[in-house]
Structure 1
Amino acid sequence: MFELKKILGGLLMPLPLLGLLSLILLIFALKHRKLVITLSFLSLATLLLASTPWVANLLIKQNQPTSLAFSINDHPSIDKIVVLGCDINPNPALSANSQLGNCALTRLVEGIRLANIYPQAQLIVSGGGYEKVTNSALMYKTAISLGMNKSRIVQNPNAMDTAQEAAFLASKLVDYNTVLVTSVSHMPRAINLFNAQGITVIPAATDYHNFAAYPWYKQLIPNAKALLVVTQFAHEVLGDTWIKIRRTINPEAL
């Protein structure tokens, strides 16, 4: 079921969805030439527009509030710092930090920064993986290589998505001041899932983007970074929708 959810979710992202739709429409173009070519044009045009910094910024500007960033002045003490997993690139020939994707590295850097500010806090690195390599293990090794004492770090290697991360960690976070580190686009859904487990967390959002700062001549030129951010936005929309569907079917679902 987990694999099926990930496959279907992946296929519904902008690039595979619009790309496959265009391919299917072109295949049927021989029979319904005018209609299918029109739809193919619209599909490809949508994909190109979704890849522009201008459209990306329109989508995300209301979903990246700075209020989700961590404020040191508001929190004199912290007990736990939870860093949620993200992308990895397993390769045993590389160091641990080189196997972490940009998203995972950005989150880990924020977690280590907070751990240095709160030297008594425990750092919890979370996330499963594949090819016998886990996100949490790579974060653990990277944090140690950057000067963290391994006695302060706890791994959560078996969680394959945010719901599992919240479920597996809940018992370790009860009655503690807990900071949650994740990407700003992912933060609302992550807070929702941790709250459902009875855990109140303090957000420490990272991985912000500001395409409005791009020069005007770059705003309408498609690029891979803008498409990646739009894909992350779509992923969160699907994730929120999935939670609502599950809770509609079963009000007890977390």
Structure 2
Amino acid sequence: MFEIKKIIGSLLMPLPLLGIITLLMVFLAITQRRKALYLGFISVLSLLIVSTPYVGQTLIASSNNPQWQFNKRQHSQIDNIVVLGCTIMPHPQLVANNQLGDCAISRLLEGVKLAHQYPDAILFVSGGGFANTTNSQLMFETAKTLGIAASRIKQNPLAMDTAEEAKRLAIYLVDKKSALVTSASHMPRAKDLFNAQGIEVIPAATDYKDYSQFPMYKQFIPSADVLVAVTRVSHEKVGSLWIKLRRWIDPEAL
């Protein structure tokens, strides 16, 4: 079920979805040339348009709420700092931090910053992985090199998605003051899943994306970075729909 969910979710992202549509149109062009070429043109054009900073910013703006940043002045004490996993790139010849993807590094740095600000707090690093490497292990090793004592760091290496992270960490976080560190686009869904486990978390969002201040000459030029940001927001929307469907089928599911 987990693999099927991931495959279907991945295929619904802008690049694979529009790519599949375009391939279908090329195939149909053999028998229905005009209609297929027209739809294929629309697919490629749509992909280019959503990849521009001008349009991409419109699509991701609501998912990058500045209010989700952690405000130290509002919290004199924190018991736990929870850093959720993100992308990793396992390679046995690289040190831990070089195996973490951009969003994983961004999340970990925010978590380490908070750990330095709250020296009595426990730092939870979460996330499974592949190729005998887990997100939590790479974050654990990197956090140690950034000055966090190993005794303060707890790993959660078996969780393969956010729902599992919330369930596995719940016993440590209930009735505690916990900061939740994840990407801004992921925060609403993550907070919802942790709340469903009876955990009140304090948002500590990072990995913000904003292209509104790009110079005008860049606003209408397609960018791979913008497409990645739009894809992440699309992933979150699909994930939220999946949660609603699961809860509709079984209110206790997530």
SS in 2 for 1:205: strand
Aligned to 1:5: 5
Aligned to 1:112: 112
Aligned to 2:18: 18
SS in 1 for 2:62: coil
Matches within 5 A, 1:51-130: 51-130=51-130
Matches within 5 A, 1:201-216: 201-216=201-216
1: CA distance between counterparts of 2:253 and 2:93? Answer: 42
Aligned to 2:165: 165
Gaps of 5+ in 2: none
2: CA distance between counterparts of 1:51 and 1:64? Answer: 17
In the comparison of the two structures, how many residue pairs are matched?
Answer: 254
TM-score scaled by structure 1?
0.99
Runs of 4+ that moved beyond 3 A: none
1: CA distance between counterparts of 2:148 and 2:5? Answer: 36
1: CA distance between counterparts of 2:40 and 2:175? Answer: 55
- Which residue identity does 1:74 align to in structure 2? Q
The alignment-based identity, stated in percent, is 56
- Which residue identity does 1:10 align to in structure 2? S
1: CA distance between counterparts of 2:14 and 2:117? Answer: 39
Shift of 1:253: 2.0
2: CA distance between counterparts of 1:19 and 1:146? Answer: 41
Aligned to 1:39: 39
Aligned to 1:221: 221
- Which residue identity does 2:172 align to in structure 1? K
1: CA distance between counterparts of 2:86 and 2:153? Answer: 18
Aligned to 1:146: 146
Structure 1 position 132 matched with structure 2 position 132? yes
SS in 2 for 1:123: strand
Shift of 1:6: 0.5
* Deviations, residues 50-106 of structure 1 (Å, cap 9, x unaligned): 111111100111221111000000000000000000000000100100000000000
Gaps of 5+ in 1: none
TM-score scaled by structure 2?
0.99
* Deviations, residues 112-164 of structure 1 (Å, cap 9, x unaligned): 00000000000000000000100000000000011110000000000000000
- Aligned-pair Cα RMSD in Å: 0.6
* Deviations, residues 3-39 of structure 1 (Å, cap 9, x unaligned): 1111111111111110111011101101111111110
